[in-house]
């Protein structure tokens, strides 16, 4: 008698990058936003591995913690709305040969009664492990317990619907510079209020007492999703050997992808 035990799922999230990748799957773009008259978007998938891969596509819903982690939820939190009821997509399953690519089309639907604000769900791409037919073990297999452990990787991207005017405001708070480690680190809180999430880039400029400006830190793709009023974030600075972190000041800017500043703050160094 043979018993097979399967461990079928391990969800992994990739950090923000121009091209999202996990395992042998590459996805472009890394997020979808419906915020105007456009009714459809396309997602490009590519298999960079050496073997043919099958991916099942579905929606899943998450909440973001203050530390930027994601937790799966079944019901929206207060002031949170899911986008799943207003989206359709095709195909729902793809088979990609090595170096093959395919396009997924995502469309808005039933949006006539949308309330003002933002709706968010995450499109989830799960690698499907091909299974052999039950009882297909080779003849002569010895009796005992056979453990078949399979790890299935997945990756998700946010799909956001925005309806109406944004009332969102952003403020950078609790900025602290830690110089005790090998690499100086900056910590801060991104405060968000209003009806929509924010997504942008952080940049840190050192300004010397003589007015010389030197960029010493940058992070792309930092988000604060609704309904969160706050996200704590920290990152290492670079090129700090070129400046004196005991004098002057630091200017921290949080900007949209297109470069429009969302919030700016300064701290004096001493």
For the record, the structure tokens of 253 come out as 């800017």
| Integer angstrom CA distances of residue 121 from 103, 191, 224 | 19, 22, 14
Q: Which residues of 47-66 are buried (b: 16+ CB within 10 A; e: fewer)?
A: beeeeebebebbbbbbbbee
Q: What pLDDT, on a 0 to 100 scale, did the predictor assign at position 182? A: 85
pLDDT digits (tens, 9 = 90+) for 61-81: 999 999 999 999 999 999 999
Q: Could you report the per-residue pLDDT of 179-199, keeping only the tens digit for each? A: 988 899 999 999 999 999 999
Q: In the chain, what are the helix, strand and coil shares in percent, each to the nearest 5?
A: 0, 50, 45
Percent of the chain with pLDDT over 70: 83
Domains 4-163 and 169-268 share a fold: yes
CATH topology of domain 169-268: Immunoglobulin-like (2.60.40)
pLDDT tens figures, 24-33: 899 999 999 9
Domain ranges of the chain: 4-163, 169-268
Residue 145's pLDDT is 62
**What is the domain class of 4-163 according to CATH?**
mainly beta
The pLDDT value recorded for residue 171 is 97
Report the predicted TM-score, pTM, of the whole model to 2 decimal places: 0.82
pLDDT tier at 156 (50, 70, 90 boundaries)? very high
Q: In 3D, which of 114, 90, 93 has the Cα closest to residue 34?
A: 114
């Amino acid at each position: 008698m043979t018993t097979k035990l399967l461990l079928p799922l391990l969800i992994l999230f990739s950090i923000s990058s121009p091209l999202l990748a996990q395992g042998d799957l590459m996805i472009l773009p890394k997020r979808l936003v419906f915020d105007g008259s456009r009714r459809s978007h396309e997602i490009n998938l590519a298999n960079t591995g050496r073997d043919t891969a099958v991916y099942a596509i579905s929606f899943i819903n998450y909440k973001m913690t203050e530390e930027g982690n994601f937790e799966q939820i079944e019901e929206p939190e207060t002031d949170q709305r899911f986008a799943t009821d207003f989206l359709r997509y095709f195909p729902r399953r793809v088979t990609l040969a090595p170096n093959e690519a395919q396009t997924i089309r995502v469309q808005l639907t039933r949006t006539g009664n949308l309330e003002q604000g933002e709706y968010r769900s995450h499109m989830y791409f799960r690698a499907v492990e091909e299974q052999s037919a039950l009882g297909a073990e080779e003849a002569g297999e010895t009796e005992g317990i056979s453990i078949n452990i399979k790890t299935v990787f997945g990756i998700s991207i946010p799909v956001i619907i925005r309806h109406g005017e944004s009332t969102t405001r952003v403020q950078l708070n609790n900025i602290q510079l830690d110089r005790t480690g090998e690499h100086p680190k900056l910590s801060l809180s991104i405060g968000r209020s209003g009806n929509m999430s924010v997504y942008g880039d952080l940049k840190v400029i050192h300004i010397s007492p003589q007015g010389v400006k030197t960029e010493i830190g940058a992070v792309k793709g930092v988000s604060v999703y609704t309904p969160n009023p706050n996200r704590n974030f920290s990152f290492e600075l670079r090129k700090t050997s070129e400046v004196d972190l005991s004098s002057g000041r630091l200017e921290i800017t949080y900007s949209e992808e297109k470069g429009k500043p969302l919030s700016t703050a300064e701290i004096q160094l001493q």
